[in-house]
Amino acid sequence: MDENQTVICRCEEITLKEIKETVERFQCSAREVKLRTRAGMGPCGGRTCRCTIDRIVEQLGGRPISNEVSLSYRPPVRPVTFGVLGGELK
């Protein structure tokens, strides 16, 4: 498969090419890749792609994570009505 079409973040449809271009252009860390491309910000919260993104950035010589805030996992969120929260609807 062509690396231009290899999807790393399935939720946001971010390809390996996009991540590589971002790291090479901005010499950024994995956290910055996330902020610039939205990789890892989809419904899974980075559970499926975070480690892969970290490895790609490390291999390309991007900045190591130092004192910056590390990436965090977020639980999937779904809208809920007040009725459900109050126990009136099931």
pTM for this prediction: 0.67
Q: How far is CA 37 from CA 47, 80, 90, in A?
A: 16, 29, 38
- Rounded CA separation 53/85 (Å): 37
Q: How does pLDDT run across 56-65, given as a tens digit for each residue?
A: 998 998 766 5
pLDDT, tens digit, 9 for 90 and up, residues 7-43: 999 999 999 999 999 999 999 888 899 999 999 888 8
